[in-house]
């Protein structure tokens, strides 16, 4: 399918990003492709990963020290607010 993609800046928890990048690497896809696939599966109420991939995810979470799970969704807070970039006028 032909789609129009846009560049975006997204802030994400550091260890979660490491696991996501590793999963994308294992599947030989880009991080953007991984995010698109996960979201499209979620929108349809489907599991995005096979049992085999979930075993790998569990190991990657251990390696990168990611102890978060779905119960942490919408409850994450940063230790300090992000720095605001000055706008050029």
pLDDT tens-digit profile, the chain (89 residues): 999 999 999 999 999 999 999 999 999 999 999 999 999 999 999 999 999 999 999 999 999 999 999 999 999 998 877 677 777 76
Residue with tokens 């997204």: 10
- What is the model's pLDDT at position 49? 96
Residue 89: per-residue pLDDT? 64
Whole-angstrom Cα distance, residue 74 to residue 89? 35
pLDDT at 84: 72
The C-alpha atoms of residue 29 and residue 57 are separated, in whole angstroms, by 15
Q: Work out the burial of residue 19: count CB atoms within 10 Å of its CB; fewer than 13 is exposed, 13-18 middle, 19 or more buried.
A: buried
């Amino acid at each position: 399918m032909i789609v129009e993609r846009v560049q975006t800046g997204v802030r994400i928890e550091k260890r979660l990003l490491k696991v996501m990048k590793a999963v994308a690497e294992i599947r030989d896809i880009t991080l953007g492709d991984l995010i698109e696939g996960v979201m499209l599966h979620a929108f349809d109420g489907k599991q995005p990963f096979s049992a085999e991939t979930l075993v790998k995810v569990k190991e990657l979470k251990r390696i990168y020290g990611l102890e978060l799970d779905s119960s942490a969704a919408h409850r994450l807070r940063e230790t300090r607010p992000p720095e605001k970039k000055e706008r050029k006028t």
